[in-house]
């Protein structure tokens, strides 16, 4: 039986408005697990999450049931 397998990995970077240093080191230990949980809820497993005070990097796998164009979780 033929089988189609694919894996799409996404590196998403977003920043704070005007690159303000709002993501303090005290906030990051709460923010990163929150972002990982949000990705898990839409079946997109997070592989790495990090960043600094003015931006965040998300590296995750896109679920087979979602499209890149889909914006509503």
Provide the residue-wise pLDDT of the chain in tens; the chain has 73 residues.
566 677 899 999 999 999 999 999 999 999 999 999 999 999 999 999 999 999 999 999 998 888 878 766 5
Domains of the chain: 8-62 (3.30.70.1290)
> If we measure between CA atoms, which residue out of 47, 65, 42 comes closest to residue 57?
47
**Model pTM above 0.85:** no
Q: Is 54 exposed, middle or buried (0-12, 13-18, 19+ CB in 10 A)?
A: middle
């Amino acid at each position: 039986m033929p089988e189609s397998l694919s894996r799409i990995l996404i590196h998403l970077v977003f920043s704070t408005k005007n690159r303000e240093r709002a993501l303090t080191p005290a906030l990051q230990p709460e923010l990163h697990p929150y972002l990982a949980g949000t990705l898990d809820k839409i079946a997109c497993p997070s592989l790495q999450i990090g960043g600094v005070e003015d931006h965040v990097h998300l590296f995750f796998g896109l679920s087979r049931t979602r499209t890149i164009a889909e914006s509503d979780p």
